[in-house]
Amino acid sequence: MLLFLKRRENIVKSRTLKPYIGLMIILNLLLLIGCDKENQNLSEVKGLLIYGNWESYLYANTDESLLIQIPIYDFSKELEGYSVNVENFDIGEVTDIKMVPQNKFDDFEQYTLEFSLIPKKVGIHKINDLTIVIDTGKNKYEEVIGKWTFEVDKPDPNDYLTITGGSLYEPWTGDYSSDYEYRSDIANISEREITLKHLSVKNDNIKVESAKNLSIKPDAEGTLTAKINISDTTGNVYLRPKLTYSMNGKTLSYPANLTMYASTVPMDELRNLLHEKKMLDK
């Protein structure tokens, strides 16, 4: 099974790197990787599988909306009627919850659960019990969806810059132990020169080596890059670094672009996951 991200058409493609664009993330789960026909048979599986192996660092301003998308597998066609909640986001609000159909296969249907997280409390918050609860009327499913780190600040009353784009580039090796190249495209909309100091992440499992001290003149744009290593995570990461910059002797911060990386999940790993959930006999 593969997790694909929808690519943004205006990104220049490279022969050695492939881009993952994360401002609007579309997840498609396809059973494609090297497994024989017998191993692809999941007709005996019943119930819902909520894909919960995620880790994050998300830098945000208060009252800012962060779009999250989580894959859901329906092996019993139970999602014809349901209610869904996202629980334990105690630092803010959860809004705009909806289930979006994606693909239909012989043995299951795949959906994307979309919702927005709106943080309200300033500070660094580690949430290890963010939980999706789906009640289909027939059954109730609950899944903790990983380890989430939020750093929340009050927004600056003045807009000195804006994020115009960005990406996360993966080496063609497909091995998430490799370094990724994160890019944030930034426009200076002030009347003074700004200096982009660095990008930072406050999660010990996500390593960042940022470029530093890129100056941008008024009405100009620049791109700040960083090497990202996620080999200490589950391989599925939501990421929004903190951009530190200076202007006129004052140090400020701003949320960089939101991106996501989802690792490849082979069929044997999916079967192991179903077995752990007691949804499938080995």
- Residues 125-180 pLDDT 10s: 999 999 999 999 999 999 999 999 999 999 998 889 999 988 876 654 555 556 88
pTM: 0.84
pLDDT attached to residue 6:
28
pLDDT attached to residue 28:
41
**Percentage with pLDDT > 90 across the chain:** 58
Question: Which domains are assigned to the chain?
Answer: 161-261 (2.60.40.1230)
Query: Quick one: 138 exposed, middle or buried, by C-beta within 10 A (0-12, 13-18, 19+)?
Result: exposed
pLDDT attached to residue 278:
82
pLDDT attached to residue 143:
96
- Residue pLDDT, tens place only, 205-231: 999 999 899 999 999 999 999 999 988
Name which of 177, 218, 217, 180 is nearest 199 in CA terms: 180
Please check the confidence at residue 62 and state whether its pLDDT lies above 60: yes
- Sign of the alpha-carbon dihedral angle for 133, 56, 153, 169: negative
What six digits make up the tokens of 162?
A: 């804006």
CA distance 136 to 2: 27
pLDDT attached to residue 40:
61
pLDDT band at 253 (very low <50, low <70, confident <90, very high): very high
- Mean pLDDT, the chain, as a whole number? 82
pLDDT band at 246 (very low <50, low <70, confident <90, very high): very high
- C-beta atoms surrounding 91 within 10 Å: 17
CA distance 96 to 222: 33
CA distance 226 to 148: 21
Please check the confidence at residue 34 and state whether its pLDDT lies above 80: no
What six digits make up the tokens of 8?
A: 């943004």
Place of tokens 């499913």: 141
Amino acid in position 230: I
Distances (CA, A) of 142 to 108, 115, 132, 265: 19, 16, 6, 21
pLDDT band at 8 (very low <50, low <70, confident <90, very high): very low
pLDDT attached to residue 2:
28
Instruction: Determine how β-strand 55-61 pairs with β-strand 236-240.
Output: parallel
- Once rounded to an integer, what is the mean pLDDT over residues 50-61? 94
Classify residue 77 by its DSSP letter.
-
